Chain A
Amino acid sequence: DQQVKQNSPSLSVQEGRISILNCDYTNSMFDYFLWYKKYPAEGPTFLISISSIKDKNEDGRFTVFLNKSAKHLSLHIVPSQPGDSAVYFCAASAAKTSYDKVIFGPGTSLSVIP
Protein backbone atom coordinates (compact mmCIF):
# COMPACT_ATOMS: atom_id res chain seq x y z
CA ASP A 1 0.00 0.00 0.00
CA GLN A 2 1.45 3.35 -1.03
CA GLN A 3 2.20 5.61 1.91
CA VAL A 4 2.97 8.59 -0.35
CA LYS A 5 0.64 9.20 -3.26
CA GLN A 6 0.86 11.50 -6.24
CA ASN A 7 -2.39 10.91 -8.03
CA SER A 8 -1.58 12.95 -11.13
CA PRO A 9 0.96 11.08 -13.27
CA SER A 10 1.36 14.09 -15.54
CA LEU A 11 0.61 17.81 -15.73
CA SER A 12 0.91 20.34 -18.56
CA VAL A 13 1.17 24.06 -17.86
CA GLN A 14 1.75 27.10 -20.03
CA GLU A 15 5.00 28.99 -19.52
CA GLY A 16 4.55 31.85 -17.04
CA ARG A 17 1.57 30.23 -15.32
CA ILE A 18 1.48 28.51 -11.95
CA SER A 19 2.21 24.78 -11.66
CA ILE A 20 0.63 22.99 -8.71
CA LEU A 21 1.79 19.49 -7.91
CA ASN A 22 -0.09 17.57 -5.26
CA CYS A 23 0.92 14.87 -2.81
CA ASP A 24 -1.03 12.92 -0.20
CA TYR A 25 0.29 10.69 2.54
CA THR A 26 -1.29 8.13 4.81
CA ASN A 27 1.17 7.68 7.67
CA SER A 28 0.44 10.17 10.48
CA MET A 29 3.97 9.60 11.82
CA PHE A 30 5.49 11.43 8.84
CA ASP A 31 6.85 14.77 10.00
CA TYR A 32 9.27 15.82 7.30
CA PHE A 33 8.53 16.20 3.62
CA LEU A 34 10.74 16.76 0.61
CA TRP A 35 10.37 17.40 -3.09
CA TYR A 36 12.90 16.08 -5.58
CA LYS A 37 13.13 16.88 -9.27
CA LYS A 38 14.36 14.41 -11.88
CA TYR A 39 15.40 15.01 -15.47
CA PRO A 40 15.60 12.05 -17.89
CA ALA A 41 18.81 10.02 -17.62
CA GLU A 42 19.76 11.80 -14.38
CA GLY A 43 19.25 11.04 -10.71
CA PRO A 44 16.77 13.05 -8.61
CA THR A 45 17.96 16.32 -7.12
CA PHE A 46 16.65 17.90 -3.94
CA LEU A 47 14.34 20.87 -4.49
CA ILE A 48 12.68 21.97 -1.25
CA SER A 49 11.56 20.54 2.08
CA ILE A 50 9.18 21.31 4.92
CA SER A 51 8.93 20.23 8.52
CA SER A 52 5.56 19.43 10.08
CA ILE A 53 5.95 22.39 12.45
CA LYS A 54 5.45 24.68 9.47
CA ASP A 55 2.66 25.01 6.94
CA LYS A 56 4.62 26.83 4.26
CA ASN A 57 8.18 27.03 3.00
CA GLU A 58 9.32 29.22 0.14
CA ASP A 59 12.47 29.21 -1.96
CA GLY A 60 12.44 31.54 -4.92
CA ARG A 61 9.83 30.38 -7.42
CA PHE A 62 9.09 27.25 -5.39
CA THR A 63 6.69 27.11 -2.44
CA VAL A 64 5.57 24.03 -0.55
CA PHE A 65 2.35 24.07 1.46
CA LEU A 66 1.55 21.49 4.12
CA ASN A 67 -1.93 20.68 5.44
CA LYS A 68 -1.37 18.21 8.26
CA SER A 69 -5.01 17.64 9.05
CA ALA A 70 -5.67 16.63 5.45
CA LYS A 71 -2.33 14.79 5.14
CA HIS A 72 -1.73 16.78 1.99
CA LEU A 73 1.07 18.86 0.60
CA SER A 74 1.51 20.76 -2.61
CA LEU A 75 4.37 22.29 -4.55
CA HIS A 76 3.70 25.58 -6.33
CA ILE A 77 6.00 26.82 -9.08
CA VAL A 78 5.47 30.44 -10.09
CA PRO A 79 6.13 31.40 -12.78
CA SER A 80 6.65 28.10 -14.55
CA GLN A 81 9.54 27.91 -17.02
CA PRO A 82 10.30 25.36 -19.75
CA GLY A 83 13.36 24.24 -17.76
CA ASP A 84 11.01 23.14 -15.00
CA SER A 85 9.82 20.28 -17.22
CA ALA A 86 10.81 17.18 -15.25
CA VAL A 87 9.42 14.47 -12.99
CA TYR A 88 8.73 15.70 -9.45
CA PHE A 89 8.84 13.24 -6.56
CA CYS A 90 7.21 13.90 -3.23
CA ALA A 91 8.92 12.16 -0.30
CA ALA A 92 8.22 11.80 3.41
CA SER A 93 9.97 10.60 6.51
CA ALA A 94 9.27 10.09 10.20
CA ALA A 95 12.37 11.95 11.30
CA LYS A 96 11.58 11.89 15.01
CA THR A 97 11.26 8.13 15.11
CA SER A 98 13.83 5.42 14.69
CA TYR A 99 12.36 4.67 11.27
CA ASP A 100 14.42 7.22 9.42
CA LYS A 101 14.00 6.06 5.88
CA VAL A 102 12.50 8.31 3.25
CA ILE A 103 9.42 7.09 1.37
CA PHE A 104 9.00 8.36 -2.18
CA GLY A 105 5.82 8.83 -4.18
CA PRO A 106 5.51 7.67 -7.83
CA GLY A 107 6.20 11.11 -9.28
CA THR A 108 4.36 13.63 -11.43
CA SER A 109 5.72 14.48 -14.86
CA LEU A 110 5.46 18.23 -15.45
CA SER A 111 5.57 19.69 -18.94
CA VAL A 112 5.87 23.45 -19.26
CA ILE A 113 4.80 24.53 -22.71
CA PRO A 114 6.57 27.59 -24.17
Chain B
Amino acid sequence: EADIYQTPRYLVIGTGKKITLECSQTMGHDKMYWYQQDPGMELHLIHYSYGVNSTEKGDLSSESTVSRIRTEHFPLTLESARPSHTSQYLCASSRLAGGTDTQYFGPGTRLTVL
Protein backbone atom coordinates (compact mmCIF):
# COMPACT_ATOMS: atom_id res chain seq x y z
CA GLU B 1 0.00 0.00 0.00
CA ALA B 2 1.43 3.34 -1.06
CA ASP B 3 1.53 6.11 1.51
CA ILE B 4 1.59 9.45 -0.21
CA TYR B 5 -0.57 12.30 0.96
CA GLN B 6 -1.66 15.60 -0.50
CA THR B 7 -3.37 18.50 1.20
CA PRO B 8 -5.63 20.22 0.63
CA ARG B 9 -7.76 17.97 -1.57
CA TYR B 10 -9.77 20.91 -2.88
CA LEU B 11 -8.90 24.60 -2.84
CA VAL B 12 -10.84 27.60 -4.15
CA ILE B 13 -9.02 30.91 -3.87
CA GLY B 14 -9.02 34.38 -5.34
CA THR B 15 -6.57 35.78 -7.85
CA GLY B 16 -3.29 37.04 -6.44
CA LYS B 17 -3.18 34.79 -3.38
CA LYS B 18 -0.08 32.81 -2.46
CA ILE B 19 -0.73 29.11 -2.01
CA THR B 20 1.27 26.05 -1.05
CA LEU B 21 0.17 22.55 -2.00
CA GLU B 22 1.54 19.96 0.38
CA CYS B 23 2.83 16.50 -0.56
CA SER B 24 4.33 13.97 1.81
CA GLN B 25 5.33 10.33 1.45
CA THR B 26 6.31 7.84 4.11
CA MET B 27 7.98 5.29 1.82
CA GLY B 28 11.46 6.81 1.91
CA HIS B 29 11.39 7.36 -1.86
CA ASP B 30 14.15 9.52 -3.26
CA LYS B 31 12.39 10.61 -6.43
CA MET B 32 9.29 12.81 -6.28
CA TYR B 33 7.21 14.50 -8.96
CA TRP B 34 4.50 17.08 -9.51
CA TYR B 35 2.10 16.68 -12.42
CA GLN B 36 -0.60 19.00 -13.67
CA GLN B 37 -3.67 17.53 -15.31
CA ASP B 38 -6.68 19.14 -16.95
CA PRO B 39 -9.84 17.04 -17.57
CA GLY B 40 -9.44 14.64 -20.48
CA MET B 41 -5.82 15.59 -20.96
CA GLU B 42 -2.52 13.90 -20.27
CA LEU B 43 -0.55 14.34 -17.07
CA HIS B 44 2.12 17.00 -17.59
CA LEU B 45 5.28 16.85 -15.50
CA ILE B 46 5.96 20.29 -14.02
CA HIS B 47 8.61 19.55 -11.36
CA TYR B 48 10.64 16.64 -10.08
CA SER B 49 13.32 15.91 -7.53
CA TYR B 50 15.98 13.21 -7.26
CA GLY B 51 16.41 13.75 -3.54
CA VAL B 52 17.04 16.32 -0.82
CA ASN B 53 18.09 19.71 -2.21
CA SER B 54 17.46 18.53 -5.77
CA THR B 55 14.73 20.17 -7.85
CA GLU B 56 14.27 20.20 -11.61
CA LYS B 57 11.70 21.71 -13.94
CA GLY B 58 9.59 19.32 -15.94
CA ASP B 59 8.46 19.42 -19.52
CA LEU B 60 5.55 21.79 -18.99
CA SER B 61 6.47 25.33 -18.10
CA SER B 62 4.98 26.31 -14.77
CA GLU B 63 5.01 29.46 -12.69
CA SER B 64 5.08 27.36 -9.55
CA THR B 65 8.17 26.56 -7.48
CA VAL B 66 9.08 23.56 -5.34
CA SER B 67 11.48 22.72 -2.55
CA ARG B 68 12.90 19.49 -1.17
CA ILE B 69 14.38 20.07 2.26
CA ARG B 70 13.34 16.68 3.61
CA THR B 71 13.10 13.36 1.78
CA GLU B 72 9.46 12.90 2.66
CA HIS B 73 8.20 16.40 1.84
CA PHE B 74 7.86 18.08 -1.59
CA PRO B 75 5.65 21.18 -1.41
CA LEU B 76 4.62 23.23 -4.43
CA THR B 77 4.12 26.99 -4.15
CA LEU B 78 2.33 29.52 -6.34
CA GLU B 79 3.34 33.06 -5.34
CA SER B 80 0.40 34.74 -7.05
CA ALA B 81 -2.40 32.49 -8.22
CA ARG B 82 -4.24 33.25 -11.46
CA PRO B 83 -7.31 31.66 -13.12
CA SER B 84 -4.96 29.97 -15.63
CA HIS B 85 -3.57 27.96 -12.70
CA THR B 86 -6.93 26.22 -12.24
CA SER B 87 -6.20 22.52 -12.64
CA GLN B 88 -5.61 19.28 -10.80
CA TYR B 89 -2.16 18.86 -9.27
CA LEU B 90 -0.89 15.33 -8.66
CA CYS B 91 2.14 14.46 -6.57
CA ALA B 92 3.97 11.15 -7.03
CA SER B 93 7.05 9.37 -5.77
CA SER B 94 9.19 6.44 -6.87
CA ARG B 95 11.94 4.41 -5.31
CA LEU B 96 14.50 4.38 -8.08
CA ALA B 97 15.71 6.76 -10.69
CA GLY B 98 14.89 5.79 -14.23
CA GLY B 99 11.66 5.32 -16.10
CA THR B 100 11.05 1.70 -15.13
CA ASP B 101 10.10 2.31 -11.56
CA THR B 102 6.47 2.42 -10.54
CA GLN B 103 5.25 5.83 -9.48
CA TYR B 104 2.92 6.07 -6.52
CA PHE B 105 0.46 8.93 -6.75
CA GLY B 106 -1.29 10.96 -4.10
CA PRO B 107 -5.02 11.70 -4.38
CA GLY B 108 -4.43 15.08 -5.98
CA THR B 109 -5.35 18.67 -5.20
CA ARG B 110 -8.04 20.26 -7.31
CA LEU B 111 -7.27 23.98 -7.46
CA THR B 112 -9.74 26.60 -8.62
CA VAL B 113 -8.61 30.20 -8.90
CA LEU B 114 -11.42 32.72 -9.25
Which residues on B are within 8 Å of A, measured CB to CB? 2, 4, 6, 9, 35, 40-43, 45, 48, 58-59, 90-92, 97-100, 102-108
Contacts and interface: CB of A to CB of B under 8 A. Distances in A.
Contacts of A42: 107-108
Bin the interface of chain A by size: 20 to 34
Contact of A2 (B42, B97, B104): B42
A84 to B, nearest CB: 18
B43 A93 contact: no
Nearest to A92: B99
A89 interface: yes
A11 B99 CA distance: 28
B99 A100 contact: yes
Nearest to B43: A104
Interface in A48-92: 49, 51, 89
A34 B100 CA distance: 9
Given A2-B42, A107-B40, A43 B99 contact: no
A93 B97 CA distance: 12
B106 A43 contact: yes
B98 A100 contact: yes
A32 B100 contact: yes
A9 B40 CA distance: 7
A93 to B, nearest CB: 2
B4 to A, nearest CB: 8
B40 A43 contact: no
Interface in A10-46: 32, 34, 36, 41-46
A4 interface: yes
B22 to A, nearest CB: 14
Nearest to B90: A43
Given A106-B40, A107-B40, A95 B102 contact: no
